Amino acid sequence: MEMKCPYCDAIGGLVATHRHMLDTHLDLVTTARDDASGKMEYALACPFCELDYRREVKPRNRNPRFLEEFKAEIALVAFDQLLYHMLQEHPSEVGVDPAELREIRE
């Protein structure tokens, strides 16, 4: 299965697109830290609908540089969720035939 990157015209398989998004669109994943509560979260917006993924990040330790050091790991999870959302909600926008998706699931 080939698909188009949701953010540009790059074409590739699911794994290649995921890799491409990490390599090229890492800055689209934003992270924030609330100084008062110490809570951290990441956000990634869907380019096709109003959906804005926000998830709390729970680091195993109190490393104040956690968000910078683990940006790639955080983005990996965020893009994974976004790709799943693309295939569920926007297959035609990323050049995927929904019939092809059914074949993969079966």
Binding site for Zn ion (CB under 5 A): 5, 7-8, 10, 24, 46, 48-49, 51, 89
Q: Least CB distance from residue 106 to Zn ion, whole Å?
A: 24
Whose Cβ is closer to Zn ion: residue 80's or residue 89's? 89
Q: At 60, is the secondary structure helix, strand, or coil?
A: coil
Q: Phi and psi dihedrals of 49, rounded to 5? A: -145, -175
Q: Least CB distance from residue 1 to Zn ion, whole Å?
A: 17
Question: Are 55 and 42 within 8 A, CB to CB?
Answer: yes
Q: What is the DSSP letter of 95?
A: T
Whose Cβ is closer to Zn ion: residue 10's or residue 77's? 10
